[in-house]
Every structure is written in C-alpha cells, then in structure tokens.
Amino acid sequence: MILTYDQLRAELVARLSQRAGQDERAADRDAKILILAISDISGASLLFAGKDVVHSAVVEKAYELCDRCVAGEPIYRAIGKREFHSIDLALSEHTLEPRDDTEALIELVLDHLPDKSAKLIFADLGTGPGTVTLALLSELPNATCIATDLEQGALIIAEENAQKNGFEDRIEFAKGSWLEALKGLPRNSFDFIVSNPPYIVSQVMDGLDKNVFDYDPRLALDGGVDGLDAYREIFNGAGDYLKQNGFLAVEIGYDQAEQVSNLGEENGWNCNEVRKDLGGNNRALIFVQTDCV
C-alpha cells in the first residue's frame, strides 16, 4: 500500500481512536509518536513532509505497533524506548518506564549544587534504565556515578543506554539491593545520593491502571505494606557514604511527603525542601543529616 505521511497519520489516528477512553487529539499525538519513532524524519520535518510517500517497511511497522497499542500495550512499551530529559532510553520488561514526574527530582538535585562543573561523584540507587543517572550526567559535565539495581536485566539496559548516549566512561554499575550494592566502598564516597525507589503500597498494587500493572515490573513499584520499605533501608545507611555536607534526594508518592519526612527524621535526617511535580503534587524531597544542619 502506498501512503503519504498525512495518509498514514490519518490511518493511525482512526485505529488508535478505537482504544477505550482515547479521544482524537490523544490518538493524533500517539500517531505522531509512532511515526517519528520508526522513521528517519524529525518532528519539525513531519510538518512539511505530509505529501511525501512513506516507505512500505515504515507503514508495515507502524501498523504493527499501532495494533499492539490498540490491544492495550502502552505506546512507549510498544516502541521499546522513551525520551526523558532529552535523552532516549531503551526499555525492557525489567525496567520502569520513565515518567515526567521524575523531572522534579532532577531539578531539585541540580538546584542544590552550587557548582555544576565540579568533579562530583554520586550514587543512583535503583537506576532502572538509567533515567536519573543519565539526566544528571547530562547536566553535570565533570560528574561520575555509581548506578545500582537489584535486577540484572535493568542494569543491562542501563548500560546500553549509557553507551548509546555517550556516558559509559562516567558510570560504574553495581548489582544489589539499595546500599548493599555499595558495600566495600570507603565511607564518605559521594557528594550526594539519589533514588527513585518503589513507593506504592502493596495493597494498592492490584488496583493500578492496567497499563502500569501489566507492563512495569512489580519490583520497581511495590514499596511494601506501607510503601516505605526502600526508604527505611536508604535512611538507615546512606549517611555512611556521604561526604561532609552531602545530601540525599528521593522521589516520593504524591501523598507521602509527611510520612517520608518523618521517617527520615527518626533516622537522623532533616528534610530541607519538598519539590512539586508539574501536576502540583509533592514529588521529591532532599535531606541532610541532622548533625550537618
């Protein structure tokens, strides 16, 4: 079938509109995402290429991915990658899909670094596909990082993403659960530690949106009975690895600011700032050890 870009986009919109709750505007957005992901055309060029003929292989692939989306697969899962902080990240069944909410964590960290050109070293606990690590390295030209994850499959994807984006020489990867992955390192190794841990209450997991429950790994979502299991482990030992005046930054669930702040205080940490996401929800916290305040 011979189609122009305009015709292909219209065909995809018609198919994507069949999804439950999908309006035409959202379907058009997703159609554009699909076309850009599998063709060699840019977003700007697409505006002027409407009458150009699309290669048959691109049409075939677009229909394949579109059908998967109509069947319920999230669009970025179907594509196999998603952009975060202007960085393309490959995804797999072992990794959490990046969300825009995590930009609040990135901004919070960057705002607490007076010299972004300094030779910093930080740790990212639970790196997933490398979302936080790579975003920060892109803004901190002389920084290096140790990125950890319990899931070997996630580390494989994170390493691929680091290589693809040119950061492989500035990252070391370590397998292990939270601080366990840092064992053997000297005390006071890091200028800061950052983490986007699982924080969803176990009892709530079965009620998650199907797009999340069926495709994001449970290990990256389930925070235990009260959603705070990972924070307990991190608060309990992260201070041993921070330099004097170092800080800890974490992402949280929209309703967890008070709980996580109190838990930190019980373990010798003081919450310096709460940062909201684009939706106006509390999303990231920054802590310093109480004896450094």
Nearest to 106 by CA among 81, 132, 87, 140: 132
- Residues above pLDDT 70, as percent of the chain: 99
pLDDT band at 45 (very low <50, low <70, confident <90, very high): confident
Average pLDDT, the chain: 93
pLDDT at 207: 85
Label residue 20 by pLDDT band (50, 70, 90): low
Longest dimension (CA), the chain: 69
pLDDT band at 18 (very low <50, low <70, confident <90, very high): confident
Check: CB of residue 136 under 8 Å from CB of residue 109.
yes
What confidence tens digit (pLDDT) does each residue in 210-246 have? Answer: 878 888 888 889 899 999 999 999 999 999 999 999 9
- Long-range contacts at 117-120 (CB < 8 A, ≥ 24 apart): 117/141, 117/142, 118/142, 118/143, 118/191, 119/143, 119/144, 120/144, 120/191, 120/192
β-pair partners for 121: 144
SS3 150: coil
Token pair of 273, please?
């700032």
Buried b (16+ CB within 10 A) or exposed e, 21-36: eeeeeebbebbbbbbe
Alpha helices in the chain (DSSP H): 5-16, 24-38, 43-46, 56-70, 75-79, 103-111, 131-139, 152-164, 210-213, 229-237, 257-266
> Residue 292 above 70 pLDDT?
no
Do 50 and 5 meet the contact criterion of CB atoms below 8 Å apart?
A: yes
Per-position DSSP letters for 233-251, written without gaps between them: HHHHHGGGGEEEEEEEEEE
pLDDT exceeding 90 applies to what percent of the chain?
A: 81
The model's pLDDT over 78-98, given as tens digits with 9 standing for 90+, comes to: 999 999 999 999 999 999 999
pLDDT band at 293, cuts 50/70/90?
low
Mean pLDDT within 265-277: 96
Instruction: State which fold the 5-79 domain adopts.
Output: Helicase, Ruva Protein; domain 3 (1.10.8)
- Residue listed under structure tokens 């990125």: 147
Answer for the pair 148, 181: CB distance below 8 angstroms, yes or no. Answer: yes
Q: Which CATH number fits domain 92-292: 3.30.830.10, 1.10.150.130, 3.40.50.150, 2.160.20.10?
A: 3.40.50.150
pLDDT for residue 102: 97
Select from 192, 172, 207 the least CA-distant residue to 289.
Answer: 192
> Residues 243-272: what's their mean pLDDT?
96
Domain spans in the chain, listed from the N-terminal domain onward = 5-79, 92-292
